[in-house]
Amino acid sequence: MTTVRMAGVVLMVGVFGSTAYATLSCVPGIYPTMDQAQTANVSCIANNIEQFSNFSFTSQAKGTQALSAGDVGFQILQGTVGPYLIFPQSFNVDSPPTGDDVSSSFTFAFSLSALNNEVITGFDGHVIGAAMHHGSSLVSIDYCAEAPISTCPAGQGGVLDVNWITSIVFVTLPTGVNSLNFLVTGEIDSPDQGSAASMTSFEMGVQAMAIPEPRTTVSLSLCLLLLGIGVRGRVRHT
């Protein structure tokens, strides 16, 4: 029996229905698209602590028409959420009766920097999609701290795989990360007769935290030292 499984539908409702996920406008228009973000070379600042920039988008396809950057909605969502891509209804694949492999994919790259004495502590990826029979709908997120993806030193990066079944996966970063580069690769694939796949949207969430100021740490240490001296002085006089 053929079954269809879907992931993230309830979460999608939460995204659109919560003020915590309000859209951050960084390109002209009510509903900006990926090609507008690239053309304008936009730089988006969320919550005054995270800056998203250097956006690029390309697409490829086999047996079907490739995605157009002008048809992909682009937003930066507020709160702990970052880039959000909304795909057209046509982003689906269905193998013909001949059983030929039909697939469509995209690459989405961007840079992330922490601002105002913050560090980046982690991020997640979230896919809303569906697949049937042998079809697949998945995203791989390559990331690297403080360096480009192509020349990422050992121990500073990795790959996060997210698909329509797991829906959301989180990565905890080492301490002290100030910047990250991302290369997101998404694909829907229908490899044989009877299979199908689609992807509705993809989003990432970023977490950051403030670094304690050095003066605060020094002052606290000094207070503890003076308190210790005072206690020892009182002990001597008793």
Q: CB-based burial of residue 180 (10 Å sphere; 0-12 exposed, 13-18 middle, 19+ buried)?
A: buried
Q: What is the pLDDT along the chain (238 residues), one digit of tens a residue?
A: 333 333 333 333 333 333 345 566 677 677 899 999 998 888 888 888 899 999 999 999 999 999 999 999 998 887 667 999 999 999 999 999 999 999 999 999 999 999 999 999 999 999 999 999 999 999 999 999 999 999 999 999 999 999 888 667 889 998 999 999 999 999 999 999 999 999 999 999 999 999 876 554 444 444 444 445 444 554 455 4
Written as six digits, the tokens of 1 are 């029996």
Kindly report the number of other CB atoms within 10 A of residue 8's CB atom. Answer: 21
Q: What is the pLDDT of residue 14?
A: 34
Written as six digits, the tokens of 72 are 């992909």
Are 165 and 180 within 8 A, CB to CB? Answer: no
